[in-house]
Structure formats: structure tokens, C-alpha cells
Structure 1
Amino acid sequence: MSVSTRTYHRGDAETLFEIFVEAIHDGASAHYTDAQLHAWAPSQDMPDSWPYTMAKLETWVAEAKGEIAGFMCATPQGYIDLAYVRPCWMGRSVAQTLYDVILKRARNTDLTRMTTHASLMARPFFARQGWQVDEMEIVDRNGEQLKRFAMSLTLGAPHDTTL
């Protein structure tokens, strides 16, 4: 199966929000209670701020078999802010393909460290990529306590361009 990536277009916002909700309510349901899932993604209605959030980050979209299968967003400073895959595409190279694009961009900009806050669902994926857990955290989402992990990846020293 071939997964391709491209940059975010404003017209993707609604589909990416649907994937966000699906990935939480269906994909992460084995890791969180119904109350926690509802607190994390309380509404099926896209907030007005969602397209702006997607546009201000470096957002990459994965497509497979003619549909959007997932997305991953990072800041220029190397913080992976959002990473979601449609449940029917989980375990089929979508997250890996998106991650590889973001990692390559980070290396090309000479970042030495990347960070994220990983859910119980995402932690194993990042661990397989060599990320370390810096701290386990409990965060409040709409009155519910959710466990997550501050994680980081050391990329090495930037390229020395002086001779």
C-alpha cells in the first residue's frame, strides 16, 4: 500500500477534525474511559479556531487509496503538537510516513532536539522511533484527568558549516 504526504490546505480542516475525533473516540478507546474520551474531544462540531490551528503549524496530511488517512503537525522548533490517524488506517504505515517527513524536516533545519506530549496510545509509537519519556504527566481536560508523557528525541549536533 502506498501512502503519500502533502502539506495542509485550508479545505482539509473539516476532514482533519473528523480524523481527530475518530482517532480519539474509536482509536484510543482501549486506553481511556468514555468520560476521558469525551473530555478530550467533547464535540463533533469543528471549532472555529481549528483551521487557524492547522495553518499556524507545519501540518502534513497523509493520503492512501484516495482518502485522507491521517495528519501530523509540528512547530518549527521541533514540537510535535498533533498526530492522528483514522482508525481504519492505524498500523498501516500512515503515522510512520508522516513522522518520517517531520523528522527529515527537523534534521534539515539542524534541530538538535524534538519534543512532544504523547498519549497512552502514541507513546509506544514514539518509543519505537527512539524517543525517551522525560516525565509522566496528568493533565486536566474538561474535568477529567488524562495521563500523558512528555517525550523527547535528541537528533545530535547541528551540521558545522565553518571550515
Structure 2
Amino acid sequence: MSTATLTATLRPMLPSDADAVAEIFREAILVGTAADYTEEQRIAWAGPKLDPERWRDRIGISVGLIAERDGKPVGCMTLMEGNHLDMAFVRPEATGTGVGGQLLGSLTMIARAGGARAITSDVSITARPFFERYGFKVVKDQVRIRRGVELPNFAMRKDL
């Protein structure tokens, strides 16, 4: 994991980005959360195969950004209903390089411009330290069930 901060290019997420979003999600879950979730949990969360169709509809109902480096998508984040971060994923090789912070900063500005007074998100064990660095606080511990498997996470909030 690199600790260098490298600027990524941010652009709006489009339904045509579903393949890239699916890849980023799958890599972030299967590889990026390995220290905090069991293999069974990661497979249940990611699903049995790459599934871009799953993302097309979610992309269409959100404000989303894609982060690219050298033309390759390395991260994505979406804002739902003006104040809820729904997808926040970075490829493992881009973790710790500032991509997540760039995405979060831009979507925070969008939320503020839309009148949001807080941002919320359901955050994995792995992502919790990242969100805490940016001022998010745990509202409650929670457990999601995916394919019959329990996945602990946290409801988090940041007042704007």
C-alpha cells in the first residue's frame, strides 16, 4: 500500500461505467477488506461473479464520481438522496494514495451545495478509519445480511 498522495482525475459516473464500477467494487471487497472480513464474508458481499448490471440502476439514481489515473478507473463514490454516500470503493493498489479523499471532498461539496446539513454512510470495518479521519462519527454498529452471511458495519455521520 502506497502512502504517497497522487492526484487522480475525477469525472461524473455514467451508466456506461457499470463494468468499471463492478470491477472496482469486487477488487475492493475481495482483496481490500481481507484483513477485516473472512473469505466467506467477502464472497457473500461481492457475489459469486462480476455483475455490472447490478450497478447500472444504482448509478442512474445517484450522483457519482469516478477517479482515474492514466485513464484507468481506480475509485468510485456515489451520493444518494443528496446526503447519503452509497458506494465508496477504491482499488487496493490505490488505497492510501488520496483517491478516496478526493472523491469524498468533491461529493461533500456537492452535498453542501444541495443544502445537506450532514452526510451519512454505512461503512465497513475496513473503511471506518478512513471516514473517521474525515470527521465522520459512528452512529451505531449494525449487521447486514448478504447471501445468508452476517457482515458487521457501522452507520456513520458527519455534520456539515
Q: What TM-score, normalized to structure 1?
A: 0.91
* Aligned-pair CA distance for 1:66: 2.1
Pairwise CA distance, 1:122: 1.0
Letter in 1 for 2:76: F
Asked if the contact 1:78/1:114 (under 8 Å) is kept, the reply is yes
Aligned residue number for residue 136 of structure 1: 141
Percentage of identical aligned residues: 33
What displacement does 1:52 show? 1.4
Contact 1:18 1:44 in 2 (8 A): no
d(CA) in 1 for partners of 2:72 and 2:137? 32
Bigger relative CO (Cα 8 Å, ≥ 6 apart): 2
Contact 2:13–2:64 (Cα < 8 Å) also in 1: yes
CA-CA distance at 1:44 after TM superposition = 2.2
Once residues 84 and 47 of structure 2 are traced to their aligned partners in structure 1, the CA distance between those partners, rounded to angstroms, is 24
Deviations 1:103-135 (A, max 9, x none): 111111221111110000111111111111000
Q: Secondary structure at the match of 1:48?
A: helix
Counterpart of 1:71 in structure 2 is 76
**Counterpart in the other structure of 2:7:** 2
1:82 aligned residue? 87
Gaps of 5+ in 1: 156-163
Question: Could you tell me whether the CA contact under 8 Å between 1:57 and 1:74 is conserved in 2?
Answer: yes
Stretches of structure 2 lacking an aligned partner (at least 5 in a row): 1-5
Give, in whole Å, the separation in 2 of the partners of 1:77 and 1:15.
23
Cα deviation, residue 47, structure 1? 5.0
After superposing the two structures, state which structure 1 stretch, 125-134 or 107-116, moved more. 107-116
Instruction: State the number of aligned residues.
Output: 155
What SS is found at the alignment partner of 1:27? coil
Q: CA deviation at 1:49?
A: 3.5
Q: Is the 8 A contact 2:138 2:155 kept in 1?
A: yes
Give the equivalent residue in structure 2 for 1:91.
Answer: 96
Partners of 2:21 and 2:52 within 8 A in 1: no
Q: Deviations over 1:50-69 (max 9, x none)?
A: 21111211110001122111
Q: Of the two, which has the highest radius of gyration?
A: 1
Residue in 2 that maps onto 1:160: none
